[in-house]
Structure 1
Amino acid sequence: MADDGMLLNFELPSDAFASTKSFRGGGWKDRHTAKKSFQYGRKKAQERAVGSMPRFDEVRSEDEGLILPNPRPAKRPRIEDAEGLQSTYRPSAGINRSGQATTIHGSSKTPKDGVISSLFSFNPQSAPSYPKPAMEAEEIVQPSNAPLEDELANFTSLGLSPTLAAHLLRKLGIKAPTAIQRKAIEQLCAAHADAFIQAETGSGKTLAYLLPIVERLMQLSKQMKTAGTGLNRESGLFAIVLSPTRELSKQISAVLESLLACCHWIVSGTVIGDHIDNTEVLDVSKVRWLVLDEGDRLMELGFEKDIQKIVGVLNLRRKKVVDSSLADLPERRCTVLCSATLKGNVEQLKHTTLKDAASIAVDEDMSTADASSENKAAAFSAPAQLKQSYVLVPSKQRLVTLVATLRQAFKRKGSVAKCVVFISCADSVDFHFDLLTQQSLTAGEGAAAEPKDDATPTQQSIPKHSNKIAQGNSISETRTHGLATAISSDQNQVQLFRLHGSLQQSTRTSTLMAFTKCTDPSVIVCTDVASRGLDLPNIDLVIEYDPPFSKDDHLHRVGRTARAGRDGRAMIFLAPGCEEGYVDILKDCGPRNITRHGADEMLKKGFSPSIGVVGDKDWQEAATTWQLDIERWALAHPKHLEQARRAFQSHVRAYATHVAAERSIFDMGQLHFGHLAKAFALRDKPGSIRVPGQRPGQNEGRKSNDARKASAGRAAAGSTKRGRADDDFEDQTPTDKEAGRRRTQAKLKSMGGASEFNLG
């Protein structure tokens, strides 16, 4: 008791006023060891003293009733729910691993549906970001795939007839060629020789090889008319274009039909499958042009033997034309190989199908014959005008961060017209589509619960089957379109589409057409089936929600935007830790700069209230409330829960299929399965997530030929390509990853094996 009557209630250590113990004599190591031993003993004594205090949230003084905080919080009781699962009731406040106070939001009642964890606690920390250098005046970057502005770079000067050049200008609105079109058209119109075309995505490779073929056929038709005959359907087949996917084939056919509008006597068609042996009326003896589009993708999907067979059949069935009207038809066949990259398998295809080929590329170094393959592959990059960024997102915050990013992108009407979200597997696409279009899901501040009449796309832009919904409020195999209630607002209604290779071909075609013609702001969630060659108009933003399986896949994904000289943005989601190493790969792709974002930054923009002062608690509570809502939504119906589990299971399997060179970045041993499960609205223990069998309705949807070829190609590639989950560490030598490898294999095996990834 002090003289003024105040109570001093504090306690000092018993040795607080003792002199610091000094250590004399002996060597340096002896003194250092003695000092460490003394410090360790003192630390243990303090811990024992604290441990002897009462285990209450507060300590009450018996003398005057003062309350002191207890350094040890009360132990959390374990409670069994109705299903026998042990759940942990967490207090409303705690301390995370970094020592910062966190708040766990949600119901104050004891949870009865598994463990509820906070979005903002126990998340891995990212590498420290260094201060950015002082920004100078931003340099104006010229688009690398835009049409040329040189007055001399017109189509007539390259060898095209005035009729075809005028058609390009008046009917198609194409005023000037791109750089790769200028080189390819000039080369292919001047000489009938094999060629290898390599250029970045969005540079117009399709017109680069179609225009010379159409021009040569128009000249042939003109000569036949002079001889008294004409080119018609009975004249035969003169050109074949092979592409890896049906979507790309239909797109090439659409471009070709638009070109042939000025010469209606030349007819185009589209066939799917191998007709060389099965279609007797298919006469290939007059084929003089063979184009292999997306050659790298053709090899990846396992079409090497099919291509060799087709080339062999064309060589065997080719004969000298005796028809005098076709005397000007070239005697030999011209083969054109198009590829965005020049890897080892493309080199092999090049040597197999081409003879004395001319290399056509924008970069002079890439067109030289003595350039190494490594330098050629490194020269391919993203368009110069593309703005790339990455966001570091902990696994448990992935879903809410995606929603926040899309909300921010479509916050204002007219800000973003269309967006593509790439996801690794078909099951995950279905899950996210169903979740983001749920009418019963709380969409947050300002979101629309029901679609408005003026926000519905025109009937012409919606597939007839797009609004068929199965019972139980679960996704239907035919429903590929809906209002994105989770990201829409009163000011901006957003339409959502889905696309993957396991859908029926008619569904895939109508979905792409609907997305292309939709005049409202729209998002399409899709697998890599939409990453190659497709020219989707007005794509302003590409989000790689799941990292690509290889660097080449990344370049093709981001190539859906910033096409033909237009601006575009691309963002990729990466987890803090080893995945941050992927930033170096992004820099190798050649953008002018890469912007870094944090998950908190995106969540604050997407979940903050539209008016008023914004505090950390506001957007954290909004994000947590939304997360808890979708977890309850997943638990509300067995179909929802199965869908979420199936998506999680397929995602983990797909994660193990990255190329060998990048497996140290996407390390399965460092993947936190528990946190990742939360991103799929799951409260289950990862080891208990087992969904055997195929996805419901998968047998109904006819599996496409390219998906079957993909499975066969990956199985044949083994560990040298994407391989299986059992081989995902075969090319890694550090022995310290052996334990993580075995644990990963055990978890994958417990989830039903890894033979089916559903990547299509």
Structure 2
Amino acid sequence: MSEEEDGLMLNFSTEPVAGTVSKRKVGKVTGGSWKDRRRAQLVSQGRGRNTKRNISDVNGIPVNQKKTQDVEEKLGSSEDSVKLGKDKKRVGNVNSLGPSSKKIRFQEQSGQNGGKNNTYVSSLFTSNTEIVHKKEEESEVQILAPSNAPLVDATTFDGLGVEKTLAQHLTNHLNFAKPTKIQRSVLPRLLLRERDLFIQSQTGSGKTLAFVLPIFQKLMEITDLNRTTGLFAVILTPTRELASQIHSVLETLTRCCHRIVPGIVIGGEKKKAEKARLRKGVNILVATPGRLADHIENTETLNLSQVRYLVLDEGDRLMELGFEETILKILTKISNESNILATTKLFPNLPKKRVNVLCSATIKSDVKKLGEISLQDAELVTNASSNEEENVVEFHNETAISAPDQLLQQVLIVSPKLRLVSLAAILRNITRKGQPGSRTMVFFSCSDSVDFHFSTFTKRGKKFKKIKVQNEDSEDFEEKIVYENADESSTVVTSPLLGGESTIIFKLHGSLNQMIRTSTLSHFTKAQTKNTHVILFCTDVASRGLDLPHISTVVEYDPPFSVDDHLHRVGRTARAGKAGTSLLFLLPGLEEAYAEYIKPYHPSGLKFTPYEDILKEGFGSENSDDTEDKKRKQKKREDWDTEATTWHLDVERWLLEDPIAHDKAVQGFSSHIRAYATHLASERSIFNVKTLHLGHLAKSFGLRETPKNLGKYSGNDSKQKDGSDGGKKKEDPRQKMLRMASQALKSQSSEFNFM
């Protein structure tokens, strides 16, 4: 013993503590199989399967059974629950149902290699950028009177020159009792004048009916009109969905005049069937530019010599998608084949020259270019235009419309890691409090992101179909809904995470084939929402021109690529004078400046909502009335962060166990980064892909891998089959992802998962 240790007395207790079992000395076990030797060894240590063990702490003191029950209740009845302390590591025992349907027990803790398969487990509520809530601006929110509502004065469709039979059909069958402001401005001009028009109006103001009604009425005045008389009007739209909607409006009008035959040609449909339709003859043709140009070249029976009206709807979007050259080709072909002068006496009620109509929300440089090649001496028509004055279009004034006055625009500034759980809380709140018959739209930046979030929120959901079943009491058949297990091709699935069969989620994006897109949109529009809430996960393919009924809330989960896209997205709600709410997700930091950027376009102002309030309401309350449940409700309200974390961890574990779902998450994350890089150059200071925290953003896709590991999925490996890298220097995964984003920005392909 050294001098320093001299006098040091060690006091070891040699008596066993009550309630503990002393370790037995175990000899070496030999013979038999490995399992037999292991079982014998455990039995010799008093650790056999049937051996009862006392629950005690590290000091050997028995733990109170009541305390044990309290802890278990706090953790929740589910074995997947994880109690997270404010200053302690998150640890939990989990029974997860893996692909082999066997329960696998594993223990997780936060940090590197703390999760299953040595994954990194990070906390939702730590290392987040501090957010300064702008509560002082909430007082600026003042909901104004509707700006796109039907007129309340004595103005009627009859008074604007609409034929009596057509006006009665609008009122009695289509429930259009009064015209809107833009209809009041456009109808007399197209009915009485032969001048090109530039129509600029808010979304949801009835613009489609404004240019369709005059064309339809002019054709009604031709007494001997039939489908073979000729093609008199062409309407071009940027998307197939908008074309289908305008065609359906025309079909509803034909119920009061069956002689008029509308037609439609769009991409994704069978060209053979479209050729047969054109061969039989149509009077009004709705088309997308690419498909119409194809038929002009390859369909000999398409006769454009009598076209009197040419409408370019959503002109700004037509230019954004690169249709300028195609439209110029169509305009040139129509002008070259025109034979209007030879038939003016045969059709005296029709214009003596072709009338061109351009509809656009903004007058920008690209729209100016489209206007210069399509319009001649055009008149600008807005909501405020009177029937007496004539305003000449001045393309040098880059004016833009605003959102509907009655729209409530909320802004949610939330850290990247909390995006997914915040979306879940919002949808929970909407479905819990939503009015019967209401619908919600959630916009994403790319189709891969739509696929991932759709799979997440419809996990273990059911697809359904309607079948006819004969009534037992009578011979009549009645419709019955049958639920089946959903598969990868399903686009309409119930959501157990948001309310089971009472909540139905649809998905829509441009990567789906045309038949599925048309069917999904039709089912969403006609869905019976008496006792259910309907949600649509979509890209900007559903943002333009579509008149979808009963949209009460629009959620912009990914920020729009331009202000125009933002106005069109929020324009799906607050239509025709009805109230509506829109909620925009933004990241803390640079993106917060986007709120000031869009503020001038919202007459009612912006309302900043703290994400904590959303999470508390979504994960900290239940619908309950009795006393016992009220206590539990209060307990959950206090533990909302635990409930939110548990929900998110369930998603992460599900991805670890389901390879298909995991691949969707990786693909969704990679496509989201590439899409983020395609924001306009003028907004690059707000949306800069280089400032993104890729690790935190990956967390919002339920991924535990670091961006370095995720880089493996973003492209083909450079390694050769023999394991060598071919002499090439390995590229940093983050730089690789940024390079791919830059390539996507340069390509600007219209089908790059944006439609």
1:555 partnered with 2:585: no
Supply the distance in 2 between the matched residues of 1:188 and 1:609 (Cα, whole angstroms).
56
1:678 partnered with 2:699: yes
1:166 deviation in Å? 1.1
1:743 deviation in Å? 9.5
Task: Name the counterpart of 1:216.
Answer: 218
Task: Name the counterpart of 1:129.
Answer: 134
CA 1:121–1:310 in 2, change beyond 3 Å: closer, same or farther? same
- SS state at 2:235 partner: strand
**Equivalent of 1:245 in 239, 246, 256:** 239
Task: Name the counterpart of 2:518.
Answer: 509
1:207 partnered with 2:219: no
Counterparts of 1:441-590 in structure 2, within 5 Å, are 469-470=486-487, 476=488, 478-488=489-499, 493-520=502-529, 521-590=533-602
Q: Does the 8 Å CA contact 2:465/2:482 hold for their aligned counterparts?
A: no
Q: Does the 8 Å CA contact 1:431/1:644 hold for their aligned counterparts?
A: yes
1:753 deviation in Å? 6.5
Deviations along 1:668-688, one digit per CA (max 9) or x if unpaired, are: 222110001011110101122
CA 1:207–1:133 in 2, change beyond 3 Å: closer, same or farther? closer
1:332 deviation in Å? 1.1
Counterparts of 1:161-560 in structure 2, within 5 Å, are 161-219=163-221, 221-222=222-223, 230-272=224-266, 273=291, 274=293, 275-319=295-339, 320-322=341-343, 325-363=346-384, 368-369=391-392, 373-374=396-397, 376-377=399-400, 380-412=401-433, 414=435, 417-439=438-460, 469-470=486-487, 476=488, 478-488=489-499, 493-520=502-529, 521-560=533-572
The TM-score with structure 2 as length reference comes to 0.73
Supply the distance in 2 between the matched residues of 1:127 and 1:577 (Cα, whole angstroms).
10
Supply the distance in 2 between the matched residues of 1:397 and 1:105 (Cα, whole angstroms).
20
Supply the distance in 1 between the matched residues of 2:191 and 2:483 (Cα, whole angstroms).
45
1:605 partnered with 2:600: no
**Percentage of pairs with the same residue:** 44
Supply the distance in 2 between the matched residues of 1:309 and 1:183 (Cα, whole angstroms).
31
**Equivalent of 1:146 in 146, 149, 163:** 149
- SS state at 2:342 partner: coil
Supply the distance in 1 between the matched residues of 2:152 and 2:83 (Cα, whole angstroms).
66
Supply the distance in 1 between the matched residues of 2:348 and 2:84 (Cα, whole angstroms).
87
Deviations along 1:334-366, one digit per CA (max 9) or x if unpaired, are: 111111111111111111111111111114599
- In structure 2, give the amino acid aligned to 1:265: R
- SS state at 1:387 partner: strand
- How many residues align? The count is 584
- In structure 2, give the amino acid aligned to 1:480: T
- SS state at 2:603 partner: coil
CA 1:652–1:367 in 2, change beyond 3 Å: closer, same or farther? farther
- In structure 2, give the amino acid aligned to 1:242: L
CA 1:423–1:187 in 2, change beyond 3 Å: closer, same or farther? same
Higher alpha-carbon deviation: 256-265 or 550-559: 256-265
- In structure 2, give the amino acid aligned to 1:347: K
- SS state at 2:228 partner: helix
Task: Name the counterpart of 2:286.
Answer: none
Deviations along 1:569-592, one digit per CA (max 9) or x if unpaired, are: 000111111111011122121231
Supply the distance in 1 between the matched residues of 2:484 and 2:323 (Cα, whole angstroms).
36
- In structure 2, give the amino acid aligned to 1:397: L
CA 1:457–1:200 in 2, change beyond 3 Å: closer, same or farther? farther
- In structure 2, give the amino acid aligned to 1:291: V
CA 1:468–1:457 in 2, change beyond 3 Å: closer, same or farther? closer
1:513 deviation in Å? 0.7
Supply the distance in 2 between the matched residues of 1:402 and 1:416 (Cα, whole angstroms).
21
CA 1:751–1:162 in 2, change beyond 3 Å: closer, same or farther? closer
1:469 deviation in Å? 4.2
Supply the distance in 2 between the matched residues of 1:367 and 1:634 (Cα, whole angstroms).
61
- SS state at 1:401 partner: helix
- In structure 1, give the amino acid aligned to 2:615: L
Counterparts of 1:659-670 in structure 2, within 5 Å, are 659-670=680-691
1:646 partnered with 2:667: yes
Task: Name the counterpart of 1:759.
Answer: 754
Task: Name the counterpart of 1:748.
Answer: 738
1:93 deviation in Å? 5.4
- SS state at 1:325 partner: coil
Q: Does the 8 Å CA contact 1:668/1:744 hold for their aligned counterparts?
A: no
Q: Does the 8 Å CA contact 1:462/1:514 hold for their aligned counterparts?
A: no
- In structure 2, give the amino acid aligned to 1:580: E
Supply the distance in 2 between the matched residues of 1:367 and 1:664 (Cα, whole angstroms).
40
- SS state at 1:251 partner: helix
Q: Does the 8 Å CA contact 1:102/1:120 hold for their aligned counterparts?
A: no
CA 1:598–1:413 in 2, change beyond 3 Å: closer, same or farther? closer
Q: Does the 8 Å CA contact 2:378/2:392 hold for their aligned counterparts?
A: no
Deviations along 1:391-425, one digit per CA (max 9) or x if unpaired, are: 11110010000000000111136367210000011
1:329 deviation in Å? 3.8
Higher alpha-carbon deviation: 504-513 or 411-420: 411-420
- In structure 1, give the amino acid aligned to 2:330: I
Task: Name the counterpart of 2:646.
Answer: 625
RMSD: 3.0
1:458 deviation in Å? 5.2
CA 1:310–1:371 in 2, change beyond 3 Å: closer, same or farther? closer
CA 1:180–1:431 in 2, change beyond 3 Å: closer, same or farther? same
- In structure 2, give the amino acid aligned to 1:122: S
Q: Does the 8 Å CA contact 1:687/1:747 hold for their aligned counterparts?
A: no
1:608 deviation in Å? 1.0
1:370 deviation in Å? 7.4
Supply the distance in 2 between the matched residues of 1:102 and 1:391 (Cα, whole angstroms).
29
- In structure 2, give the amino acid aligned to 1:351: E
- In structure 1, give the amino acid aligned to 2:754: L
CA 1:204–1:103 in 2, change beyond 3 Å: closer, same or farther? farther
Q: Does the 8 Å CA contact 2:669/2:701 hold for their aligned counterparts?
A: yes
- In structure 2, give the amino acid aligned to 1:759: F
Deviations along 1:581-620, one digit per CA (max 9) or x if unpaired, are: 0111221212312111122111111011323324675111
1:752 deviation in Å? 11
Supply the distance in 1 between the matched residues of 2:640 and 2:506 (Cα, whole angstroms).
28
